Each structure stands twice: as structure tokens, then as C-alpha cells.
Structure 1
């Protein structure tokens, strides 16, 4: 059991708290959505309030400008060209809001040019009004001080159907607009109202107007970049206060803007306060539910903890502790009591299963083993019955010392793959040394034991005695590649070795294939019978084997046909020398059933050099050479591609 992994698992209290949170999640989501919607509604209301106030201020300023032009038009109607001066200073009415205040200047035009004396700014707006033949309002003309700042209103006057002859210009202080922003002389509270001209200068302001008029608005660039005639954005005031501002463009002006601002803190409080209260209430409810969940967890943790300890005892192999009756105390909770009884029944079934496996292992049929995830042998039940050595001597990695040296590399490879987790299941056969010193063939099969997450916790499998089967397989394999009469290799083995020789030839190793056919052997069978012929064949096989090296192969490929594969050596000299020895050996008399028998042999040689010739082609070349040798008489040797050579034979 991996204690480190277990320690990272959450306990029952944690899961109960998570359960409470999951149950509260829909309520929290709905509450949060409601709070968000409520906050959005409050924000929309506050935004609409600011925007409507800005629209009202804009309409008031437009009405004020229209009233000034109306009065100025009336004045122009009654003005007489014979007046001695083109300037007239007007005083307001003793009734607030009634009358025309400021300086009126009359600019006469002749030939399209003004011929009256006036300030440059006055002449400039008069010329523009004259050229456009329309009333105009200027931006703020800055003076030496707030009292010297002026706004000019220009009104062209003409006869019906004729170009204008003069322009009436009204110059007034922007401070007079404060009357529009502060009706009845009352100061506004909570919000800030201001008017800016097209250059960003403040024309009028509901607070500290004397020190603010003529000052450039702090966030004028953002205000000017607004593509629409109205909008809302966050900005700073001249005092550095963060505010939310609503604005509306003023018609009839060169870009004047009516602005209404509210402190950002006040604006946000309108929708954040109810949201904060709701969130605090949700947090309090969550905390209370969590405390209750922990309390309930304490009530049910004891039986669950007992079950967990019992499970750990079983997993660690501590069977004595697992069988302790007090390991899982009875519970007053019905579900836990059912779980305890079910657990006890499952443990009894497991113990019975283990006893059955133990019986099978002790009978010597199998070795039941368990490996750790790291590759150490934890248990090997039945090892002593199979090998005659105690089970304890196989634990850990000691058992590997009993593996045959030729098989240890394959076994080590399988163990390495298991450790790296690259092997799902394995099935390997190897030889194992047992107590009497013999090598016993065994088959080792097994696979990983996984936990719920798919991680390997150990390996389990069986070790099976397959020695008898291996001996049978070896005998069958030998019979498949050897001649039953002579014990020599057969055509199957020759073909396999010939392919290996052809491959070696591609690497520069030259070999030779000798095809042999016995002369006069048919007469032996006809006169003395097949038993005598078989005895002659066995003696021929012995003589052929005595003429070759251990690395060479002698095979019987037909009734009286043999083949020899000579590996390496210097060719073709070595093959010719071998052929001479073979002819001499075979031609010597044979003693069978008290009679002397003399036969001969013909030899065909094919050299195996270069890797471009296939095994079958080498066989055909040797057969052709043999056919050529026999066609020239008995006891002949023929090398493929050369003339046959006659060898003197006895008899």
C-alpha cells in the first residue's frame, strides 16, 4: 500500500464539506445572478439619471442662447444707423433673468470687409457670421482674468433679398451662464455640472466657477474623441476627483458640451451596496452549513475509520490483525452495520480462496508468486515443492541466480520491461536449476495488478513445470530436421543452413555445397535386400561425417543422395580436397552380414560466393555439376563451371 498516495487523499469531513458546497452552489449561483441583475439595474438607473440631467442642462443652455439671439434681433430691429457710436454697454434688468447684458458692437461691412473698429476676436466672428449669413457663437475668448473672459454672439442683419450690411456682436461674460446651471441662485449638491467649449475650456461650472472658468478640462481628449452626441465615461475633475461623467453636445455652438459628473464612489455605491450585503449573507450561510457538515462527519467517521484500518491490514498482508474481531466495531448506523457484515463475509470468502490456492501450490502443480512493482519477489508459494529449495531462498532477487546463464538475459529483459511499465503481460520460458543440480524447463506467466487509477501496485502469476513438454518438443524438432535412418540432417535442415551460408557469402565468407550420389547402390538393394542397403547407408553416413569438420553439415536428401555444406575455408581448393577424401572413404569395402560390398560415389560441387545467388540456385548448380560428373562415369568430381575429374576407384 502506498502510504504517500493515501496521505494525499481527502478525508470524510472534506467530502462532506464539498457535498454541502455542491448543494449550496445552485443557491449561490442564483443569488449571485440576482445580485448582478440588481446591481446592473441600479447602475442603469444611476446612468440614466446622469444622462437626463446632462440633457436638461444642454436644453437649458440652448434655450439661453436662443433667448439672447432673440433679444439681440429685437435690438437690431430698433437700432438706427444714425447712432453716433457703434458700441453699446447694456445693463441687466433689476429682475433676474430678464434683459440683455454685456457689450453690443455693430460692425459695418462695405465691399465684404468690416470698416468698424473692434477687437480682433470680435471682428473675426463678425466676418464669419457675415460670410455665412447666419448667427454664430464663439468659443471662450480668454482674457487676463476670469472677469475678462468673454463669449461672442454674432447676428448678421440685412434687407430682404440682399447681402447683410452689418453684424451685431454681443460680448458677455461666461459667468452669466452660471445662472443657467444654478437656477434661483441655489448650488447643486451631490453632482457636478459644467459646460466646455469646442477647445476644451470650461465655460461654466456649478462649483468654484470663479477659479474654473477658462481652465482646460482634464479629460478633454477623451470627451472630444466621443463619436456620438452623448455618452458616459469615467474621468477626473480639475480637483483630481474620480467621477462618472455623462455628456451631451450643445447645438448652435462650435462643439460646446454639457457635462454632469458624480463621484465614482457614490455612483458605484448605488449598485455595489446591495450586492455586498447579499454576498455576505451567502458567505455566512455557507460557513454555517460547513460547520454543521463537520459536526455530522464526526458522528460517522469512527465506523468509516475502522473499516479503513481493517482494509489496510488486509492489503498489507497482516492477516492476524485483519481477523481481530474488534477491528470493526458494530455501528448504530444501519448502512455501516450492513457494510461491516458484508465486509466480514467478503473477507471469509477471500481467506477460503487463498487456502484453495495454497493447496494447489503445495501439490506441486504450480508456483504462485507475487512481485512488487519494483521487481522484487514477495512470495512464491509452492517453490520448495517444485525445486526442492525453501521458499525463503527465492524471495527478493535471489531466484534469478538459479536461472540458466543462457536464459538470464531474456529474463532480465522481461523484468526491466515490467519495472518500466512497458510490458502489459508476459509469458517466458527458461531453465531453472533445482536442488539436485538438474536444469528444469519452466514457464513463467503473469500480469500487473492495478489499482482503481490504473497504476501498477504489484505483479502476480504462476510458474509451471514444462520440462517434459520441452523434451518432447526437442525430440519433435530433431525428427523434423534429421534423417531417421542415418541420423544425418535432412533436406529441411540443409535448406536452412544453405540460406545462412548464402547470407554469409554476401559478407565475404565463401562456402561450398557438395552433392553426392552413390554408384552401384541399386545393385546392393536388388541382390542383398533393403536391410543390407540400409546398413550400407548408415555406414556411408558415418564415413562422410568422419571426413568433415564440426562446423560442416552432412545431410541425406534422398534414397542414395547426400549433400555436404562446407563452411568457410579456401575455395575451391578445400572443396576439391574434401571431395577427394569423400570418394576415397565411400569407395572402401563394406562388411554387411559377412559379405564385402563395394560401391562408389560421384560428387558435384557448387561454390557459394557473393550474396546475389539464392539458396535454391546453389542447389541447382550442385545438381548440375553432379549430373555432369555421373555422365562422365563413376567416381567423378565436377565443380560447377569446370570440367569433371576422374578418381580411381577400387573394384
Structure 2
């Protein structure tokens, strides 16, 4: 497997070469052109063959119809000549039997003869079985009534014989004397035992895919290779069904000159039989007509593929020879930026477009070499500057370090070898920070500004620090030119800023939120009162706290305030905001809390404060609390009003004897409480 792998790789790579792709494109175009030509020629040949065969079918149908009409005329003439030998005395049974049997042997084209009187009574009939006188009356037959009325020969429509019970066509000849019809003689053509097309059409049995059928104008079959279908509707013949329907839609023309009828699988031709109201139908299978062309098409495909294979071989060899200089040029171009090779050596001898491409590559190689030399000179000078700089300086290109200063390495705890060539994301504490930094840098550089930002950086030992990152592109128009970066440690500055921000929002003694932070949060909740969840406010101040301050000193008072802050924080929910408003006054903001829930929290808070006992210089110190609760309502005019109601409720608890909880009252009652408090 290891021996075959290089060969397999070479084969796979050869498919990606320009030679193979050009050769394949040429082969495909060649195959498409040859295939298209063959298909067009075959299509034209098929169309011409089908058109010629279609005309032939129509012509044959016309010929068959003409011969059939001629035969029927001969039958009528023979019957007319026979009628001249009939005398009224011939109607005597013995004479009639002798007469009919004699002429039946002479007229072999007919199945039988018969004679009827003017009342339609059958006087006698003779066929191959002999003479008979069945009791049959044909007075209602159309051919009989017309022969009596008009005194002219008639040909019946297909009908069922009342003697043989078979489908027949009858030729009726009136017997005249002094302009009067005194009897009617008839000749019978049995359609099932006698084929009307015998001797008329060249094929009547469906040989070679040809079907010939005779029908009347109503579509009743008079002649068919399958005698079982005689007398049936032509719709029962699937090969003629579509043609017959098309003929009906065209108005059922009995056209002796012939008709073309369309069908997807058959070549159909039809022609009317003159004077008979009959139609001759011919159908030839399209598949049988096109069979020779299909074989020729198969042979043409084989020849096309063979010729294409030969031409493809020649084309491939020719392309390989023509593109050989290009392959040599590709091999030389793969070492275009190899500094160990002279830019003017090892180029192939080529002509035409390949030579022009070679000149372009040589110029690129020379310009690249000049650029690298210039770049190396600039980087050398830059390295000197960076070595003397007191802050961390780095040069990066394509998000990798290419130059780093000594101060930069010292700041991050890496050596220069550990940083050069490494991704710049190496120095960031968090992966997400680097992803967020990239668009900010791109936006600043594209706007023509330098970038500056504070980020948490990562040292080699895993520790982090806050660094101020500043960057400037070498060439704003060329992103690949790289950028110069400076990094300084601002951890102390950040710590001071964070501490200052914390002090601005918290009480220095207890660590709780101060009045300013509490009021900002209170204003926010109040502003969203129409959309927010229920909210409530608890205000409390300490009982007996002044006694501790006066008797034990401010240090004891401060310790008690811290202890109260701890137990109060433990008595409320984690998301509630506890604040020291000043002195011994505290407040709690409970978001998503109804008034009943706030009152329960207030009692828990009171109990926690009352059970607090602090040891101080050998004494046990304790305090109480007066707690007020105010649920947020629509009638409150401001956040300050809300806090005032909680404060007044706390005052009411103090007036009630301290150590208790009171709910906020109505605005009027608040007015009275406020007056009393100020008094």
C-alpha cells in the first residue's frame, strides 16, 4: 500500500492539471458535436422515412378502396346479367331450385343466392348445402324496400342474415317486366367466411406489422384478419381506435383520394370506397418502420465513440506537447519566492502566451526580492527602536507576531522565540475577547484612526492582568502590510477605578448599597410600574441604637450597624436590594413581590434583628426595629413618594410601641402621619 500511494497521488493530481482539463473539454466538445450531428441526421432520416411510409400507406389504402369498389361493381354487373335469364316461370319451386343451384356454381364469389316476391317472402335460397325454402320475410329490410321503390340494384349495409345468422352484405337485383318489379333476386356475401379483401390488398392478415380493415360509415367492421371482430365496432381494434376517432372529429369524410390520420404508434391511412359508403383502413407499426434505422443508429453510436476515442488520444498527445513549456514554468514558479535560487535562473525556453506569462512571473519575482530586501532593512531598524522602548511593542502581520520588543516579552513572560510566528490571540485571557477585538480594530483602521482599548491579557504562567492596547496600521491602504502595537500594564489603574466606582455606589461601613444607588434603582422600578411585576418597599430604623452610641461609643455603634446589615441581608431574598440610607435607617427594595409577601419578609427581618445579640467589651448589646411596608401602587406620584410612604409606615410602627411592622396607609392618613412626624 505504501508503494502504490505515490502513484495514486500522481494520478489524482494529473486530473487537476490544465492538460487534463483542456483535453477533457476538447473531448467533450468533440463528443457533443459528433453526437449532435449523428442525432440530427438520424432524426431527419426517421422523419423522411415516416413521411414516405405515411404517403405509401395512404396510397395503398386508396388503391385497395378502388379495387374493392371495382369488385363490387363487377358483382353487381354479374347479378344484373343473371337477372336477365329469370322469367316469372322460374319462380316455380323446382325451376327456382335448378336455376339457383346452377348459377351458384357459376358465381363462386357469392355465398348464396335467394329469391323473394314483392311481399318480401323468401321463395327459396341456395348455398353450398343445397336448396331450401325457409319461412323468412325481408319486407322490412332497407335494401328490399329501396329495390322495390326505385327499381334499381342495391347493396345493403352490414346486417345479420335471418337464414345463416351471420353478418352479411346483400346485393339486391329487382326483376322488372314492363317497368314493374315482380320479384327481387339477391346474392349474399358472408363477411366471416368470405374476406372482402381477398385478392384486393397485398396483406390482409397483419403480416409485417400491416393491418387492413374495411368498415362502413358507422364503424362496423366488414373485413378484418380476425373474423371474430367482423360485425363489431372498429373501436374494438386498438390499432385503429385513435384514427377512427380522429376521422369522426373531422366530419367522417368518405374521401376516395385518401386521408392522413395521426397516431403516436401507428402510420394510419384511410380511403373511402366509391359508391359504397365504406372505408378502407390501413395501419403499419411505426416501430417496425423505424427498426432498420434503430439498428443503423446503434451502429452509428459505436462508430462515433470509436472515432472520438481515436481523436481524443491524438488531442491529448497534442495538448501535452503544446503545454509542456507551461509545466516547466509551473515547476519554476513553485520556487518563485525561494531566496536560495537566483530570480533569473532555471526559467524554461517558451514562446507565445507562455513566454509572456513567464516574463510577468520574472518581474514579480524581482519585485518581490526587492521588497523583501527593503522590508528586512526596515524591520532591522524597527527592531533597534523596539529594543530601546520602555513599553511593550510588537509588529504583527496576518494576525501573527513578526517582531516583539524586550519589554513586550518581559510583560508577558515569554521569550522572543516563543512569540515570533505565533497567533496574536495567544496573549488574550479570553477567546471571546479576541473575537470581539477584531471588528473594533478593523473599524478604527478603516476610518483612518489608531486603535486603543483596555483588555485582560494572559501571561505565560497563566496569570492575567489588565493591559492597554494601542495599534496603528503600517499602511492603511494595505491590510497585509501589518500593524504596530503597544501594550502597557494598567492593572493598578483599573483596580483604582473599580474601587472608586464601588465606593460611589456603596456604604463604606456596611458594604450595602448607599442612598444614591438605592434611589437610582428605585426610580427605575417606579418608571416601569405599568409593565413590571409587583414591587414593594420596606423601610426600617433601629430602636435603642442611640443608647448604644451614647453609652458605648461610636465604635460600638458602627459594629452594631455592620451586624444588623449582615442579619438583614440573610433574612431577605438574594435578588432584593438592601441599602443603608443614613445613620440607623435602612431600606429594602423587593421586586416581583406583592404587599402580602413583603409583609412576611418584613416580619422575618424584624425577628432577625430582634434576636441579634452582639458581645462588646464584656457586655451583650441588642437593638430592635420599627418596620414599615409600602407596596407600589398607581396613586404614588413619584419614587420619593413611594419611599416616603414606607418611611411613614415605619414611623407609625415606632409610635405603636416599636418592635412591630406597619403597612403604608392612605394618602390622607399619610398626611396626618407626616404632620405628626414633623411636629
Report the CA distance between 1:320 and its aligned residue.
6.0
Change (3 A) 1:192 1:472: closer
2:87 matches 1:80:
yes
Change (3 A) 1:461 1:115: farther
Once the two structures are superposed, residues 429-461 of structure 1 have per-residue CA deviations (whole angstroms, 9 ceiling, x without a partner) of: 97444257742246999xxxxxxxxxxxxxx99
Q: TM-score normalized by structure 2?
A: 0.54
Distance in 1 separating the partners of 2:82 and 2:628: 138
Change (3 A) 1:307 1:613: farther
Q: What secondary structure does 2:68 align onto?
A: helix
1:12 corresponds to: 18
Distance in 2 separating the partners of 1:442 and 1:49: 99
Report the CA distance between 1:16 and its aligned residue.
0.9
2:549 corresponds to: none
1:136 corresponds to: 156
Change (3 A) 1:193 1:38: closer
Matches within 5 A, 1:526-541: none
2:566 corresponds to: 549
2:439 corresponds to: none
Report the CA distance between 1:299 and its aligned residue.
3.2
1:512 and 1:566 in contact (8 A); partners too: yes
1:46 corresponds to: 53
1:649 corresponds to: none
Matches within 5 A, 1:500-519: 512-514=538-540
2:465 and 2:491 in contact (8 A); partners too: no
Distance in 2 separating the partners of 1:132 and 1:357: 124
Report the CA distance between 1:12 and its aligned residue.
1.9
Report the CA distance between 1:335 and its aligned residue.
3.8
Distance in 2 separating the partners of 1:538 and 1:9: 89
**Which deviates more, 77-86 or 612-621?**
612-621
1:515 and 1:622 in contact (8 A); partners too: no
2:368 matches 1:337:
no
Structure 1 unaligned spans of 5+:
94-98, 184-188, 204-211, 236-242, 372-377, 415-427, 446-459, 521-535, 586-601, 646-651
Q: What secondary structure does 1:548 align onto?
A: helix
Distance in 2 separating the partners of 1:397 and 1:326: 33
1:370 and 1:380 in contact (8 A); partners too: no
2:316 corresponds to: 294
2:595 corresponds to: none
Q: TM-score normalized by structure 1?
A: 0.56
Matches within 5 A, 1:43-122: 43-76=50-83, 79-83=86-90, 84-85=95-96, 87=100, 89-90=102-103, 102=110, 105-109=113-117, 111-118=119-126
Report the CA distance between 1:357 and its aligned residue.
9.1
Change (3 A) 1:508 1:252: same
Distance in 2 separating the partners of 1:616 and 1:346: 77
Matches within 5 A, 1:11-410: 11-21=17-27, 24=30, 25=32, 29=36, 32-33=39-40, 35-76=42-83, 79-83=86-90, 84-85=95-96, 87=100, 89-90=102-103, 102=110, 105-109=113-117, 111-118=119-126, 127=141, 129-130=143-144, 133=147, 134-136=154-156, 153-157=170-174, 165-170=183-188, 174=194, 178-181=198-201, 221-225=237-241, 226-227=243-244, 228=246, 231=261, 246=269, 248=271, 250=273, 257-259=280-282, 261=284, 265=288, 267-269=290-292, 283=305, 286-287=308-309, 289-299=311-321, 302=324, 305=327, 329-332=347-350, 333-341=354-362, 344=365, 348=369, 364-365=392-393, 384=409, 387-390=412-415
Q: What secondary structure does 1:39 align onto?
A: helix
Q: What secondary structure does 2:63 align onto?
A: helix
1:76 and 1:168 in contact (8 A); partners too: no
Once the two structures are superposed, residues 587-612 of structure 1 have per-residue CA deviations (whole angstroms, 9 ceiling, x without a partner) of: xxxxxxxxxxxxxxx99844488x99
Change (3 A) 1:274 1:400: closer
Q: What secondary structure does 1:111 align onto?
A: coil
Matches within 5 A, 1:528-607: 544-545=561-562, 547-549=564-566, 552=569, 563-565=586-588, 571-572=602-603, 574-575=605-606, 605-607=627-629
2:455 and 2:467 in contact (8 A); partners too: yes
Structure 2 unaligned spans of 5+:
1-8, 148-153, 248-258, 437-452, 471-481, 547-552, 570-576, 591-597, 617-623, 674-679
Report the CA distance between 1:45 and its aligned residue.
1.4
Report the CA distance between 1:64 and its aligned residue.
1.7
Q: State which of 431, 434, 440 in structure 1 corresponds to 2:465.
A: 440
Q: CA RMSD in A?
A: 7.0
1:102 and 1:170 in contact (8 A); partners too: yes
Change (3 A) 1:150 1:16: same
Once the two structures are superposed, residues 467-504 of structure 1 have per-residue CA deviations (whole angstroms, 9 ceiling, x without a partner) of: 5389449717843871699687555532576699999x
Q: What secondary structure does 2:76 align onto?
A: helix
Report the CA distance between 1:47 and its aligned residue.
1.9
1:604 and 1:639 in contact (8 A); partners too: yes
Distance in 2 separating the partners of 1:32 and 1:444: 72
Report the CA distance between 1:15 and its aligned residue.
2.0
Once the two structures are superposed, residues 525-545 of structure 1 have per-residue CA deviations (whole angstroms, 9 ceiling, x without a partner) of: xxxxxxxxxxx9999989855
Change (3 A) 1:494 1:71: same
Q: State which of 620, 624, 628 in structure 1 corresponds to 2:645.
A: 624
Distance in 2 separating the partners of 1:296 and 1:179: 67
Distance in 1 separating the partners of 2:641 and 2:80: 131
Report the CA distance between 1:121 and its aligned residue.
13
Change (3 A) 1:258 1:11: same
Distance in 2 separating the partners of 1:81 and 1:57: 39
2:490 matches 1:468:
yes
Change (3 A) 1:52 1:544: same
2:450 corresponds to: none
Distance in 1 separating the partners of 2:559 and 2:210: 126
Q: What secondary structure does 1:154 align onto?
A: strand
1:493 corresponds to: 517
Change (3 A) 1:392 1:100: same
Distance in 2 separating the partners of 1:190 and 1:642: 113
